[in-house]
Amino acid sequence: MSNTSDACGSPPAGAPTQAPRRWSRDEVARRVARDITEGMVVNLGIGLPTLVANHLAPDREVMMHSENGVIGFGPAPAPGSEDYDLINAGKQPVTLRPGGVFFHHADSFGMMRGGHIDICVLGAFQVAANGDLANWHTGAPDAIPAVGGAMDLAVGARATWVMMEHTTKAGEPRIVERCTYPLTGLACVSRIYTDLAVIDITPDGLRVVERCQGLSMQALQAVTTAALRFG
């Protein structure tokens, strides 16, 4: 992965053009894991964020939390060793690290609402330029709403990060000036990780921290409705 220097932007004049390779889901998860600080309590939302647990080194002191009532879980179990009595909020089997425990669902939500989660990493349908989050319903009449604990996490965690694909399957931007889907939380997101870039939400707007190798500023802006700042 590259930063926003010239080396990772447009190719030199006269060089053959090539479509940039998007980061894989595991590469994005690894990038998120890199930014998690030692000693933090981190909630991983359903979907893509669950991959982050697979990319935290075993010797790192990070407590992973899931709202169904587990803290101190580790990477996904090896195929064939799954125990479906030990699951996360997405009903995926997990492993427990030394000291990890399962506990009451109400106590888990007490942690979330009480400000005891340092970072939550959530998936999203849309994120607005001001940090508004929409991740529980698209508003479509046949869509199944899925609130889960996202509303509690969005306002209860000390920081909310989003991990998602930069565009929909139809190519529509997910990072927008204003959300058009029902909101999960207001001005709650501080950082976005996508398969194209890492973007901070600041008082001065969206600032690109990092982008895919070979992805120009113009190409990234073309798939982002909200205005971006570079450098």
- Evaluate whether residue 211 is within a structural domain: yes
Beta pairing, strands 96-102 & 70-73: antiparallel
State how far the Cα of 1 lies from the Cα of 59, in Å rounded to an integer: 23
- Evaluate whether residue 12 is within a structural domain: no
71: enclosing H helix or E strand: strand 70-73
Degrees, nearest 5: CA angle 148-151-156: 120
- Evaluate whether residue 14 is within a structural domain: no
Number of domains forming the structure of the chain: 1
Burial of residue 200, with CB atoms counted within 10 A of its CB: 0-12 exposed, 13-18 middle, 19 or more buried? middle
Mean per-residue pLDDT, 129-154 = 88
Winning range, highest mean pLDDT, from 78-87, 88-97, 189-198: 189-198
> CA torsion sign, 42 to 162 to 125 to 84?
negative
Query: What pLDDT is recorded for position 7?
Result: 33
- Could you report the per-residue pLDDT of 110-121, keeping only the tens digit for each? 999 999 999 999
- Evaluate whether residue 35 is within a structural domain: yes
- Evaluate whether residue 2 is within a structural domain: no
Interacting residues of 198 by C-beta distance below 8 A, sequence separation 6+ = 31, 191, 192, 208, 209, 210, 211
State how far the Cα of 107 lies from the Cα of 149, in Å rounded to an integer: 13
Domain span at residue 164 reads 21-76+85-230
Beta pairing, strands 205-211 & 228-230: parallel
Q: Spot the catalytic one: 61, 67, 177, 210.
A: 67
The answer to whether the beta carbons of residues 33 and 74 sit under 8 Å apart is no
Query: What pLDDT is recorded for position 16?
Result: 47
Confidence of residue 159 (pLDDT cuts 50, 70, 90): very high
- Evaluate whether residue 8 is within a structural domain: no
Confidence of residue 18 (pLDDT cuts 50, 70, 90): low
Q: Please indicate whether residue 177 is annotated as part of the active site.
A: no
Residues 70/74/80/83 CA torsion (nearest 10 deg): -10
Query: What pLDDT is recorded for position 139?
Result: 77
CATH number of 119's domain:
3.40.1080.10
Q: Is the pTM of this model over 0.75?
A: yes
- Evaluate whether residue 4 is within a structural domain: no
Q: What percent of the chain has pLDDT over 70?
A: 92
Query: What pLDDT is recorded for position 231?
Result: 79
Confidence of residue 142 (pLDDT cuts 50, 70, 90): confident
- Could you report the per-residue pLDDT of 169-224, keeping only the tens digit for each? 999 999 999 999 999 999 999 999 999 999 999 999 999 999 999 999 999 999 99
